[in-house]
Amino acid sequence: MIFALILTTRFLLGVFFASLAGGVSHILAQVILISFFFPAGSNVVLVSSILGGGIGGSVGGFLAWSSPGGSKWENLTTLALALAGGFAGAGIGVWRGAHVYHLAGLPGIPELAGLIYGAVVGANLLPLAYFISRRVRSGKFEG
């Protein structure tokens, strides 16, 4: 029961932090790049959106799943998994988001929705699996 509460709390914190950080970093990357450097339809802007949303989502996922009392290697592994999941999820979310979410009159929002959903899911699922496997291997798993 306690283990389920810990998992639920960490997952909800991960969703919150990853959504907030991913959205803010995506919007900042878009505003800075489009305003000062590249036109709106540029592939550089798309790549920067994936990088910004992926990094933001990954940082949020890492904040929820890291253990302050844990070893350095466990936290680095959690960070690497959150980064890999956040980037992969953001990339898949942008790729699918343009085709799934149709919002007339709001250019860029479908990609943003897909990017944030993908980054949040990716940045939380891999650390969740690692956390569960680490607890099961150490014998601290309570039904």
The conformational region for residue 80 under phi > 0 = left, psi -120 to 50 = alpha, else beta, is alpha
CA geometry: angle at 120 spanning 44 and 36, to 5°? 25
What is the reported pLDDT for 143?
47
φ, ψ of residue 101 in degrees (nearest 5): -95, 115
Q: For the whole prediction, is pTM greater than 0.85?
A: no
Residues 65-70: contacts with CB under 8 Å, at least 24 apart: 65/10, 65/14, 65/124, 65/127, 65/128, 65/130, 65/131
The packing angle between helices 109-138 and 2-36, to 10°, is 150
Positions in the chain short of pLDDT 50: 143
Start-to-end CA distance of the chain, whole Å, equals: 7
